[in-house]
Amino acid sequence: MINIALFGPPGAGKGTQSEALIKAFNLYYISTGDLLRKELAAETKLGLEAKSIISSGGLVPDEIIVQIIENTITEHPEANGFLFDGFPRTYVQCYILEGLMNKLNTSLSCLISLEINEEESVGRLLRRGITSGRIDDNETVIRNRLREYKEKTLPVLQFYKDKGIYRAINGENAIEQVRSDIDKVVKEELHRFPAHVVLFGYPGSGRTSLGRELAKHYELEFVATGSMLDAEITRQTPLGEKIKSLYESGALVSDEIVVPLIEKKLEESKDVRGFIYKGFPRTLVQSYILDGLLRKRGTNITKIIDIEVPTLELIKRLDARSKTDACMPYDSTTAKIVQRLQEHETKTVPVIEKYAQIHGVTKVDGLGTFEEIFERLKAVLKKSIWMS
């Protein structure tokens, strides 16, 4: 997720650039004014509270504004991030946003400031007034607005300069150049952190082959717990001997063994573009472990995909696989196949449901040829901001 605060004085072109940013990076637009008007129109609890305050001549407090923003963010897990316009407006609101981002396990990625001098701003707005007929586009009102912007905004800009996430853009350039400069800033921010894609799907959905091909195509690391465990056995390490013993006894490999292997993989792959996880997390406990591992590194899950295949088709595929060299231990009988599918249903589906509430889960049709399914997966990842 990337979260951007877009700043600029009146006439800097924020509206034009906001539209381009939202479309290019699948961001959800957050304008406190727009959100407040929606709450008022829908007569929600917060909207009614705000209406009462406005009716009495008061200003809507930050207490209400921050709740509206939080609700908006949590209601749109499908977004790749959020574009804040008009918030934070004050130094105090900077801390409010910091606290909100922390609560939601994310952060403000950068503040982009479209910078133009006062005379340019006045000239643009006066020209706009001629065509728009807006009565507030006269020089006296414009200069008052610019003075108010400077007084309120300078402390906010300094706050983010001190944090090191302030990015200045020359807003006096042509629209296309400004857009290109903004895109460059956003992509630089995206490349600071590797992508983390979790690939879900029932046994037989093709996760392994599809995941490996996606990793190869996008130059990502493929993280499959089964492969890592097998590698330890092949290398005949002490840990491998322990894993082999567990396999032979029919016991499950514990998280105490799996987690250090994943952590080691992340540590050894510091300069990669990202990771595709297959087979982890399988359980709710493992989902919390993965979240913790990523948060420890200052990042989180980028995309979650669930490959959907009808049950009868899964059984058909697994039965066919049982007659090949790719046969898995649970492919040997129909009873074992059904048992494995039921295990996924009881242990892993709740993980997917949890992530659907927090991050959003993209469902992909797993029927068709390998090439057709692969193209669908590529289409999903192309819509992700880190692949833009």
Convert the pLDDT of each residue in 15-60 to its tens digit: 899 999 998 888 999 998 899 999 999 999 999 999 998 888 888 8
The answer to whether 108 and 101 have CB atoms below 8 angstroms apart is yes
Evaluate if residue 135 carries a pLDDT over 80.
no
Q: What is the mean pLDDT of residues 294-309?
A: 88
What pLDDT does 139 receive?
85
What pLDDT does 187 receive?
84
Evaluate if residue 196 carries a pLDDT over 80.
yes
Q: Which residues contact 106 (CB under 8 A, 6 or more apart)?
A: 1, 3, 300
CA proximity to 85, closest of 58, 112, 63, 64: 112
**3-state secondary structure at position 46:** helix
What pLDDT does 383 receive?
67
What pLDDT does 330 receive?
65
What pLDDT does 298 receive?
75
**DSSP-assigned letters across all residues of 263-284:** HHHHHH-TTSSEEEEES---SH
Query: Where does residue 343 rank: exposed (0-12), middle (13-18), buried (19+ CB within 10 A)?
Result: middle
Higher-pLDDT residue of 302 and 350 is 350
Kindly indicate the confidence band of residue 136, based on its pLDDT and cuts at 50, 70 and 90: low
Give the separation between CA 83 and CA 22, rounded to whole angstroms: 7
Amino acid at site 134: R
Kindly indicate the confidence band of residue 387, based on its pLDDT and cuts at 50, 70 and 90: low
What pLDDT does 304 receive?
93
What pLDDT does 132 receive?
66
Give the separation between CA 241 and CA 142, rounded to whole angstroms: 75
Q: What is the mean pLDDT of residues 331-347?
A: 86
Percent of the chain with pLDDT over 70: 96
Higher-pLDDT residue of 54 and 349 is 349
The answer to whether 185 and 110 have CB atoms below 8 angstroms apart is yes
Kindly indicate the confidence band of residue 145, based on its pLDDT and cuts at 50, 70 and 90: confident
**3-state secondary structure at position 169:** strand
What pLDDT does 250 receive?
67
What pLDDT does 321 receive?
87
> In 10 A of CB 128, how many CB atoms?
15
What pLDDT does 322 receive?
85
> In 10 A of CB 146, how many CB atoms?
17
Which H or E run includes 147?
Answer: helix 139-163
The answer to whether 342 and 352 have CB atoms below 8 angstroms apart is no
All domains of the chain in start order, with CATH: 2-190 (3.40.50.300), 195-387 (3.40.50.300)
Higher-pLDDT residue of 367 and 252 is 367
What's the mean pLDDT when you consider all of the chain?
89
Q: Which residues contact 138 (CB under 8 A, 6 or more apart)?
A: 126, 129
Evaluate if residue 379 carries a pLDDT over 70.
yes
Percent of the chain with pLDDT over 90: 58
What pLDDT does 137 receive?
67
pTM of the model: 0.66
Which CB contacts under 8 angstroms, 24+ apart, belong to 156-161? 156/7, 156/88, 156/89, 156/90, 156/91, 156/93, 156/94, 156/111, 157/7, 157/111, 157/113, 159/91, 159/94, 160/5, 160/94, 160/108, 160/110, 160/111
Give the separation between CA 185 and CA 194, rounded to whole angstroms: 16
Strand pairing report for 166-170 and 195-201: unpaired
What pLDDT does 20 receive?
92
Amino acid at site 121: S
Q: Which residues contact 5 (CB under 8 A, 6 or more apart)?
A: 84, 87, 88, 97, 108, 110, 111, 112, 160
- What residue ranges in the chain does DSSP mark as E strands? 2-7, 27-31, 81-85, 110-115, 166-170, 195-201, 221-224, 274-278, 303-308, 362-365
Convert the pLDDT of each residue in 203-238 to its tens digit: 999 999 999 999 999 889 999 998 899 899 999 999
Q: What is the mean pLDDT of residues 286-307?
A: 89
Strand pairing report for 362-365 and 221-224: unpaired
What pLDDT does 153 receive?
86
Strand pairing report for 81-85 and 195-201: unpaired
